Structure 1
Amino acid sequence: MCQHCLGKTIHDVNHHGVWDNSIEPVMTIKPGETVHFECLDSSGGQITKDSDVSVLSTLSMDLLNPVTGPVYVDGAQPGDILKVSIEQFIPSGFGWSAIIPGFGLLQDQFKDPALHLWHYDRHQMGACAYGDFAHVPLKPFAGTIGVAPAQSGQHSVIPPRQVGGNLDIRDLSAGSTLYLPVEVAGALFSVGDTHAAQGDGEVCGTAIESQMDAVLTFDVIKGQSLKSPAFSTPGPVTAHLDRLGYEVFTGVGSDLMTCAQDALSHTIDWLCRTTQMSAEKAYMLCSVCGDLRISEIVDAPNWVVSFYFPKVVLA
């Protein structure tokens, strides 16, 4: 067990499904302390190694995207910054990706459910096989990570917020440092929705959703404030994908959402032609390893969105 895991632990039974500053903290810690969080996957354990696609029609929405916590950080007050040093993720070796009707960038095109189960070496964390079609390099991170908002009442964990939450930023991996604006006393930090891999955009609505533990160290920065989350990384963020370059497809037009949809659709068409995989499989594969990027947003009236698909995945 790593040295960070020998400190305080919050077990996954201590989870909640909304942001609410009235939820009692599970633990109080001092700045500088490290906490080991046991996190659930975004299905809240409803999707298992024995599941098939039928599980998607019976998912309880109330159980989705649970986060472990909250933690009260002593000394954190509204107007401060909570510094979260991401030390380590301890993966489970199992994950899933899905097309969930009514969800995802191309929800109007993909109306039927689909499910893919992933099995990977949780110790070596090498590339994970996607049937006979591809191998996806892994990069664990927490999709949902944040603090309680100042507004009273219950707030959904699904949309991201100015205090963090469901950010789905794949570069919040081990070694990165996240900075969150504090809006309530103690910050009331929680984390969950852990992923084994994801592309920028999480285009089908899911990554490689995978239960794992997160080891985090906390500090409070006084006398400074943030309006929204910020983070720093220890080095390159795409080294696990860059080795063989990318195939890139663009969407060009006056609406960024339509441009993004077009760029993704062109990539899926290419994957289907190149590998003979189904469009559903291509859509999920794009979600776990391909990146949406705004390439141009200044030359009105049209903008350019590009979808980068890493060649190493098909090598």
Structure 2
Amino acid sequence: MYHIRRDHSHLRWSRKIPPVLTISSGETVTFDAIDSSNGQINKDSTATAVSSLDLSTVNPVFGPIHVRGAEPGDVLKVEVLDLETADWGWSAIIPGFGLLADEFPKPSLQIWNVDKNQGYVSYKDTIHVPLRPFLGCMGVAPATDEDLSLVPPTDAGGNMDCRDLTVGSVVYIPVQTQGALFSCGDGHAAQGHGEVCGTAIETAIKATLRFEVCKGLSWVTSPHYENPPRVLKGQDSAEYAVMGIDGDVLEATKKATRGIIAWLTHFKGLSQSEAYMLTSVAGNFHLVETVNVPHYIVSMSLPLGVFRSNG
């Protein structure tokens, strides 16, 4: 088995970055990835660490690896075999970042304890979010000679932040350049669909991935994935949801988020910042309705099983 170390990191998508490893189709690689702050936040950090973040070094990815036989037009099949998080993680409100950035201008930091044996991530022992690790970033080098930012995803993958890409998932990424030049990183212990405050439960992660070059899958022009059946440990099916209704989908999304934050502060006693971060790591967006124009409906739901106390 091959291994990618923490010092095998880079901060842009580029086919000009030389590979640190060359493998054959069917082989397995482990990745040791530091958290998305690139080590700038630790267990003892406070909100001042968020204020002083060097954003030019955040969200590193690890690699790239060259896969023999991978050519433009092929598809790289990536099987997620194992994901091991650290025993802690963090969430933050970063000024100027997130869905409601204008409404949350002050930095805030929340440190979570990861209990791997019990299968949850806790805060103040009153909120238990089921442990559901995944890699926020998985992608291949672009076809262009231009260096691309790590932040926005593309059809070549990248910073997709899709919580469904966890152990047992199979991801298909269209190859853009010879050898694919795959990299990954941005470990998360848990995240809601939407990641509304801009962070999940960020954590260092060790990932084990298997790669296969697939020919003739011409319909895969953006990332595809498949998942096995799953039962989420420690999570009941009850949920509370708020609908956001507006002629603009983005504004409807904001309305739903504001609504769930208001419910959390009123009924669960959380501060505005705590509610915003909990919504980011455990809440889930659904596009409920699109045909009754001119209005759209987006709901934000929160599983009630994350609360461990009455109220």
**TM-score where L is the length of structure 2:** 0.96
* Counterpart check, 1:56 vs 2:50: yes
| 1:209 paired to 2:202 | yes
Instruction: Give how far 1:153 is off.
Output: 2.3
SS of 1:271's equivalent?
A: helix
CA contact (8 A) 2:130 2:232 kept: no
Which residue number corresponds to residue 117 of structure 1?
111
Give the counterpart letter for 1:200 in structure 2.
H
Q: Deviations over 1:59-108 (max 9, x none)?
A: 11121110000000000000000000000001111110000011111111
Query: Which position in structure 1 is the counterpart of 2:183?
Result: 190
Superimposed CA distance per residue, residues 159-194 of structure 1 (whole angstroms, 9 cap, x where no aligned partner): 111100000000100000000000100000000001
Runs of 5+ consecutive residues of structure 2 not aligned to the other structure: none
Q: Which moved more, 1:248-257 or 1:57-66?
A: 57-66
Whether 1:71 and 2:65 are equivalent positions in the alignment is yes
Runs of 4+ in 1 over 6 A off after TM superposition: none
Deviation for aligned residue 1:244 = 3.6
Q: 1:126: Cα distance to partner?
A: 1.9
Amino acid at match of 1:148: A
Residue in 2 that maps onto 1:91: 85
The aligned counterpart of 1:267 is: 260
SS of alignment partner, residue 19 of structure 1: coil
Name the % identity. Answer: 45
CA distance in 1, matches of 2:244, 2:288: 10
Could you tell me how far apart the structure 2 residues matched to 1:135 and 1:169 are?
21
Task: Check the 8 A contact 1:251/1:262 in 2, yes or no.
Answer: yes
Kept after mapping to 1: 8 A contact 2:62/2:183: yes
**Aligned-partner Cα distance in 1 for 2:52–2:144:** 32
For residues 104-160 of structure 1, give each alpha carbon's deviation from its aligned partner in whole angstroms, at most 9, with x where no partner exists.
Answer: 1111111111000112124x1522222144111110000011000001121100111
Following TM superposition, by how much is the alpha carbon of 1:240 offset from its aligned partner in structure 2, in angstroms? 4.3
Asked if the contact 1:97/1:116 (under 8 Å) is kept, the reply is yes
Query: Structure 1 residue 129 and structure 2 residue 122: aligned?
Result: yes
Q: Which structure 2 residues correspond to residues 1-315 of structure 1 after superposition, within 5 A?
A: 7-122=1-116, 124=117, 126-225=119-218, 226-236=220-230, 239-240=232-233, 243-315=236-308
Q: How many residues are paired up?
A: 307
Q: Which moved more, 1:63-72 or 1:132-141?
A: 132-141
Greater Cα shift, 86-95 or 128-137? 128-137
Q: Which runs of 5+ in 1 are unaligned?
A: 1-6
In structure 2, relative to structure 1, the CA distance for the partners of 1:172 and 1:274 (3 Å cut) is same
Amino acid at match of 2:155: Q
Separation in structure 1 between the aligned mates of residue 204 and residue 126 of structure 2, nearest angstrom: 24
- Which AA in structure 2 matches 1:272? T
Distance in structure 1 (CA, Å) of the matches to 2:155 and 2:276: 29
**Matching residue of 1:4:** none
